[in-house]
């Protein structure tokens, strides 16, 4: 079977997603990661639309890519203008990109109502643009915008736009489901009807407005497409684009179709998380293949089976895509979950050991009270070590007080005063903060820093509060989850109380003690 070429448009189509804004350096860094993954084509942007995209191409012209070719995007020439004189077309040549991707109108509705021109003039625009760029020695791909809607409306004209681009020299034609509303059965039917008329490479570009962008991309390959366009993590305008992470994994592992080198498949999780980080987006926990929860097991029956044969509840080996199995500890997990976590911590426990039953009962009791250890594995590790008496206290709290004050029109100020005993020494410190938790954190660190310098390497990176019983109003219990990180790791801790300060203190205390435990501090 022919190789499926992957065309990534994260840096152009993906960048149109709400809340996403890339700097030139962001785009360069993502492009380098995509190149290392083995993506064949990287669309970097629209050089004629803004100076940033042009700067990207000019800087990338000095970067040696190992596996990828850069594509520059633009539209067909403007009305009543020769392609050779159109400013957008000139910018494509200036970009020095190896591939030029031109989007053109395919739907008669867009030709008459958006371009405000005739169907024949639109064909001339496609022919002139593709023909001129080809005559300049450039490789041209043609994106047929709204192709599936166009085909439903006027199939003869939609097909004619493709054949015009093909005759003008386009080396690939890409069918775009721009509105993202075409269903999988329709995609397959349309491609089957036109495939024999296309003599060049045929691609698919799907948006996810109906939630079937990945499925549409895969069925398009089955129907005869040999190029798939999409974005990393499916980011993009409205509901996003087809997610190349899942598409690549499915092509390689489910359909047996070559698309990236075999040894690069394990980089999928890394690239997914890298792009999320640069995009300032939290990685989706439930994202297929690469999400943190993709191979997480919680139910006791599932855990028991998975340890006997991983195929019972995992559709692939998670390491194939760079992910890993996680066994979640909860009231549903049973003894197996406790034993697996104990093994991870090099703790000697067996199913018959009374300590195992004791820990499980403790977990069930605490989760009944509102704790949620699957989301706070650092707190669970501390719980295990405390229960097994394999834990030492790094300090003792003697008391703390938090003072919140507002004077007239002044902003609210927060101060925490804390008294602790560390290595036989009493410390009494105070610190300000942006809120009570930040003030407590600052005061505690201030008291501990001379004894445990390693704490300067960590910081709180996320703080979540959830009310457990909304009907109880202000008297409700709250669950506080804190995420902390240092130079190498991130970990989550938890606290539950009817008092938000107390719940926060529990989570904060676990966070700091886990750091000291992790660093083998004496």
Q: For 326-364, write each residue's pLDDT tens digit.
A: 766 554 455 556 666 666 666 666 667 777 777 777 777
Question: Helices in 140-267 by DSSP H: which ranges?
Answer: 147-153, 155-167, 184-194, 213-223, 244-253
Residues whose CB is less than 8 angstroms from the CB of residue 301 and which lie 6 or more positions away in sequence, other chains included? none
pLDDT of residue 378: 84
Range list of β-strands (E), 312-412: 326-327, 396-405
DSSP state of 113: I
Range list of β-strands (E), 83-138: 99-105
Tokens linked to 90 = 């000139």
Strands 326-327 and 99-105: unpaired
C-alpha span between 3 and 483 (Å, rounded): 43
- Bridge partners, 204 (sequence order): 175, 228
Q: Where are the domains of the chain?
A: 5-260, 296-386, 396-518
pTM (whole model) above 0.85: no
| pLDDT digit string, tens, across residues 273-312 | 889 878 878 788 899 999 988 887 776 677 677 777 777 8
The 3 state secondary structure assigned to 240-284 is CECEHHHHHHHHHHCCCCCCCCHHHHHHHHHHHHHHHHHCCCCCC
Q: Per this entry, what is the length of the chain?
A: 522
C-alpha span between 444 and 449 (Å, rounded): 9
Rounded to 10°, the helix 244-253/268-278 angle is 170
The 3 state secondary structure assigned to 462-512 is EEEEEECCHHHHHHCCEEEEEEEECCCCEEEEEEEECCHHHHHHHHHHHHH
CATH code assigned to 396-518: 3.30.160.270
Q: Are 271 and 34 in contact (CB under 8 A)?
A: yes
Phi/psi at 301 (nearest 5 deg)? -65, -40
Per-residue pLDDT tens digits of the chain, which is 522 residues long: 789 999 999 999 999 999 898 889 889 989 999 999 999 999 999 998 889 999 999 999 999 999 999 999 999 999 989 989 999 999 999 999 999 999 999 999 989 898 899 999 999 999 999 999 999 999 999 999 999 999 999 999 999 999 999 999 999 999 999 999 999 999 999 999 999 999 999 999 999 999 999 999 999 999 999 999 999 999 999 999 999 999 999 999 999 999 999 999 999 999 998 898 788 787 888 999 999 888 877 766 776 777 777 778 779 998 999 988 776 655 445 555 666 666 666 666 666 777 777 777 777 777 777 777 766 788 888 877 777 777 778 888 899 999 988 877 778 889 999 999 988 899 999 999 888 888 998 999 899 988 998 888 888 888 888 787 655 555 578 888 888 888 888 888 988 988 889 999 999 999 998 898 888 777
Residues whose CB is less than 8 angstroms from the CB of residue 193 and which lie 6 or more positions away in sequence, other chains included? none
C-alpha span between 307 and 455 (Å, rounded): 37
Choose among 325, 391, 390, 337: nearest CA to 363: 337
The angle subtended at Cα 365 by Cα 359 and Cα 371, nearest 5°, is 100
CATH 1.10.630.10 is the classification of domain 5-260: no
Over the chain, what is the mean pLDDT?
88
């Amino acid at each position: 079977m022919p190789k499926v070429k992957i065309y990534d448009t994260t840096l152009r189509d993906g960048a149109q997603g709400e809340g996403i804004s890339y700097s030139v350096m962001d785009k360069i860094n993502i492009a380098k990661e995509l190149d290392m993954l083995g993506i064949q084509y990287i669309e970097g942007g629209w050089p004629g639309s803004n100076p940033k995209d042009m700067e990207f191409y000019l800087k990338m012209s000095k970067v040696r890519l190992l596996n990828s070719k850069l594509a520059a995007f633009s539209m067909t020439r403007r009305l009543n203008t020769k392609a050779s004189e159109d400013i957008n077309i000139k910018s494509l040549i200036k970009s020095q990109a190896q591939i030029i991707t031109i989007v053109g109108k395919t739907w008669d509705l867009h030709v008459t109502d958006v371009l405000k021109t005739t169907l024949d003039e639109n064909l001339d625009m496609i022919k002139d643009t593709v023909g001129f760029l080809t005559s300049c020695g450039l490789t041209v791909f043609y994106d047929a915008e709204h192709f599936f809607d166009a085909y439903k409306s006027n199939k003869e004209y939609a097909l004619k736009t493709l054949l015009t681009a093909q005759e003008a020299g386009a080396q690939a034609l890409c069918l775009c489901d721009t509105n993202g509303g075409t269903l999988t059965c329709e995609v397959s039917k349309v491609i089957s009807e036109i495939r024999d008329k296309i003599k060049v490479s045929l691609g698919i570009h799907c948006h996810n407005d109906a939630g079937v962008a990945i499925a549409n991309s895969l069925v398009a390959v089955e129907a005869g497409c040999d190029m798939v366009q999409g974005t990393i993590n499916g980011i993009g305008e409205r509901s996003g684009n087809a997610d190349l992470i899942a598409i690549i994994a499915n092509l390689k592992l489910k359909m047996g179709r070559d698309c990236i080198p075999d040894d690069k498949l394990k980089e999928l999780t890394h690239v997914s998380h890298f792009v999320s980080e640069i995009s300032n987006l939290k990685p989706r926990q439930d994202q297929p293949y690469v999400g943190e929860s993709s191979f997480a097991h919680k139910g006791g029956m599932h855990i028991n089976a998975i340890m006997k044969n991983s195929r019972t509840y995992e559709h692939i080996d998670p390491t194939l895509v760079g992910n890993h199995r996680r066994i979640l500890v909860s009231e549903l997990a049973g003894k197996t979950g406790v034993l697996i976590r104990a093994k991870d911590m090099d703790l000697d426990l067996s199913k018959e050991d009374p300590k195992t039953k004791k820990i499980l009962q403790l977990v069930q009791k605490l989760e009944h009270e509102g704790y949620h250890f699957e989301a706070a594995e650092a707190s669970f590790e501390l719980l295990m070590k405390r229960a097994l008496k394999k834990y030492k206290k790094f300090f003792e709290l003697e008391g703390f007080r938090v003072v919140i004050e507002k004077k007239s029109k002044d902003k609210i100020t927060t101060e925490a005063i804390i008294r602790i005993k560390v290595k036989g020494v009493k410390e009494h410190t105070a610190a300000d903060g942006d809120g009570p938790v930040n003030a407590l954190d600052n005061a505690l660190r201030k008291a501990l820093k001379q004894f445990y310098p390693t704490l300067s390497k960590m910081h709180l990176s996320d703080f979540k509060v959830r009310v457990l019983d909304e009907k109880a109003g202000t008297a409700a219990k709250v669950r506080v989850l804190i995420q902390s990180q240092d130079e190498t790791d991130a970990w989550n801790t938890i606290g539950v109380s009817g008092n938000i300060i107390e719940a926060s203190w529990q989570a904060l205390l676990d966070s700091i003690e886990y750091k000291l435990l992790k660093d083998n501090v004496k």
